[in-house]
Chains A and B, each alone.
Chain A
Amino acid sequence: MLALKICPEITGFLARQSRQGVILVSGTNGKTTTNNMLAQIMKKAGYRVVVNYEGANLITGVATALIKAADFKGKLEGDYAILEVDEAALPRIAQEVRPKMVIVTNFFRDQLDRYGEIDKTIAVLCGTLSKLPKTNLILNADDPLVAQFEKRTGLPVMYYGLGKHERVITASSGVKEAKFCPLCGTKLTYAYYHYGQIGNYYCTECGFARPQPWVEGFQVKIGHKTVDCLVSCPKGVVSLNLPVYGLYNLYNALAALTASLNLNLNLTAAISALQSYTPVIGRMERYNFQGKPVFLNLVKNPAGFNEGLAALLEMREKSDVYLAINDLDADGRDISWLWDVDFEKLADKKEYFNIFICTGTRGEEIALRLKYANLPVDKIKICANQKRAVKEVLSGIGKTAFLLTTYTALAPTEKFLMKIAQKERTYEAECVSSIS
């Protein structure tokens, strides 16, 4: 990035030209989806928005998106810049662009070898944000690690969250980053969990508790490839039918909705934009191989992987599974987090699985993890060649094929998949382009 070297303030210079301001989306999971959902809402409302490409969320990626959107004089045409930003890069980017709004989705263990522990990341983030007096925060009320931002930054906050529903867990076996009150260190009490440490919590010592969300989803119904719920907000109660799978996507939609309402957008129009949302690459994409449904999903950390496995179990029919685990820089070189994923849940339903094809630079490691999760060794196969692995999983005897990959294994997997299977577009919606 030559431009960054010549002019280190270029990010701020360009981003601040957006007429209505800059919106940053950060957190561990859901940045890309939340960002694109919000961009879709804004675009349908007639605004010109600049967004960065998925994954291009470090300082150079953000700068690239802005430079591409600017003309040769360095003039940026846009009402809003909506940028997903890696949590470690947020302090620097936030200082430069002085965002109008920051959305924080959740905090899970992710690529620890790059950033060290999560507490430090959060401390740095809060420190930076507290010095930005004109920023509004949109926070996930259900994640104590996120909700602590209100006290720690003193900024105006709008919360979103999910109410109790049929799938909540009362004694979670999932990964929990925060079992202890982030403000005083006492053990948190949970009325219920959605997943991980996301749920309804309170601290018996200092009174820190899940704030009442301004926008709250309830009566959640998770379907085969949809999520439906009712949403209550100050403007009334509306129903939301999302064409994407999974609870985590509902959270992303609620975050985007809350942000748009905070910007005084029309509720009905925002809901309709969300309902026509098309998932971006790697977010539970659907393919068809000779009539057989094939699913592709990106996994980055235990919480996301557990959600992916939940989707897999939800199929309730015989599946062939492909797991591609790489340990390059962008994946996180430390893959020990695979041992924090609850593969044991798959072993309870062995009969659903025909074979697990393990590939990627750490294919052996994921195979070993499955063995220690009590999956039968004869159903675990290591296949170093990714192309052959994709072929093998598609030609399995199962009724569906499920492909889960880490970040850098996603593109090659998709490439091989495109050659032999057809990508399905269930919803004819306009894709959000990088620049509009």
Chain B
Amino acid sequence: MKLNVCHLYPDLLNLYGDRGNVMAFKQRCSWRGININLFEVNLGEQINFKEMDFLFLGGGSDREQNLIAADLTQRTRDLKEAIEDGLVVLAICGGYQLLGKYYRTLDGKIISGLELLDFYTEAGLKRFTGNIVIEVILEDNIIQVVGFENHAGRTFLGQIYPLGRVLSGYGNNGKDNKEGVRYKNVFCSYLHGPLLPKNPMLADYLIATALKRRGQSYKLDFLNDSLELAAQKSMLKRLLK
């Protein structure tokens, strides 16, 4: 078995330990004997999204965000086709915002997004910062997902599902209790932390989904997740009294 993993702009979008998500995806595959081909794609470098099985897009500071928006815009059509074809995507924070319609800054400037998904983001005065727990439905399982959020943007969803429901924390906009976005196999979230290491069920769901799309056996071997669950539980215990 082999999966192609694409880490977009690892040079630029490297805030908040985002690379931990790629590490977790990669390690959990390799511990099960699933080979990973990692493609680290930086500005201007070629990549065929259709050949990819998992794509990760992280968050960065404003300067970096502008640089990648320009680069990614040129790849929009390819990315859209791959998404419609079922590519598994995890986009966090700035990477998440970029997939929507636009980002409106505090002084009213509109920064266009890739317009791949039906949502928009507006800058707010206060940053939403802190530990967060959300509830996510993955087919038959309802799981709790923990992380840390730090965003000034308030995201509002159109005709599209959220990733989950906020149990503790702010989420998309601090108002509607929604967190992230879910469309086909695209998972967007404000949770860094990073997200996948501490939430092994979500990580495995992404792996299984990627395997399923390629017609491979998606029943994953059991892993001993006691450290993962210990890290998750210590936060659940703190936030959900």
The reply to whether A368 and B198 form a contact with Cβ atoms under 8 Å apart is yes
Chain B minimum-CB-distance residue to A363? B234
The reply to whether B17 and A339 form a contact with Cβ atoms under 8 Å apart is yes
Chain B minimum-CB-distance residue to A370? B227
User: A112 at the A/B interface (Cβ < 8 Å)?
Assistant: yes
B201-241 residues with Cβ-Cβ distance < 8 A to A are 224, 227-228, 230-231, 233-234
The reply to whether A367 and B17 form a contact with Cβ atoms under 8 Å apart is no
Which of A150-158, A308-316, A330-338, A425-433 lies at the interface? Answer: A330-338
User: B131 at the A/B interface (Cβ < 8 Å)?
Assistant: yes
Which range holds the interface residue count of chain B?
35 or more
User: A317 at the A/B interface (Cβ < 8 Å)?
Assistant: no
The reply to whether A367 and B230 form a contact with Cβ atoms under 8 Å apart is yes
User: A377 at the A/B interface (Cβ < 8 Å)?
Assistant: yes
In whole angstroms, how far apart are the Cα atoms of A116 and B230 in the complex?
29
In whole angstroms, how far apart are the Cα atoms of A364 and B146 in the complex?
13
Which range holds the interface residue count of chain A?
20 to 34
Across the interface, A113 reaches (CB within 8 A) one of B61, B129, B152, B230, namely B129
Q: Mark B174-205, 1 if CB is under 8 A from A, else 0.
A: 00000000000000000011100110000000
In whole angstroms, how far apart are the Cα atoms of A338 and B197 in the complex?
12
A325-369 residues with Cβ-Cβ distance < 8 A to B are 333-340, 362, 364-365, 367-369
Interface of B is mostly: mixed
The reply to whether A333 and B131 form a contact with Cβ atoms under 8 Å apart is yes
User: A100 at the A/B interface (Cβ < 8 Å)?
Assistant: no
- A187 contacts across to B, CB distance below 8 A: 43
Q: Mark B33-50, 1 if CB is under 8 A from A, else 0.
A: 000000000010000000
In whole angstroms, how far apart are the Cα atoms of A371 and B148 in the complex?
20
B106-134 residues with Cβ-Cβ distance < 8 A to A are 127, 129-131
In whole angstroms, how far apart are the Cα atoms of A362 and B237 in the complex?
13
- A180 contacts across to B, CB distance below 8 A: 12, 63-64, 67
Interface residues of A (CB under 8 A from B): 109, 112-113, 116-120, 175-176, 179-180, 185, 187, 333-340, 362, 364-365, 367-369, 371-372, 374, 377, 380, 382
Interface residues of B (CB under 8 A from A): 11-12, 14-20, 23-24, 27, 43, 61-64, 67, 127, 129-131, 148, 150, 152, 192-194, 197-198, 224, 227-228, 230-231, 233-234
Give me 25 A-to-B residue pairs in the complex whose CB atoms sit less than 8 angstroms apart, sorted by A's number: A109-B15, A112-B15, A112-B16, A116-B127, A116-B150, A116-B152, A119-B63, A120-B61, A120-B62, A179-B12, A180-B12, A185-B67, A187-B43, A334-B148, A339-B18, A339-B19, A365-B198, A365-B234, A367-B227, A368-B198, A368-B228, A368-B230, A369-B197, A372-B23, A382-B230
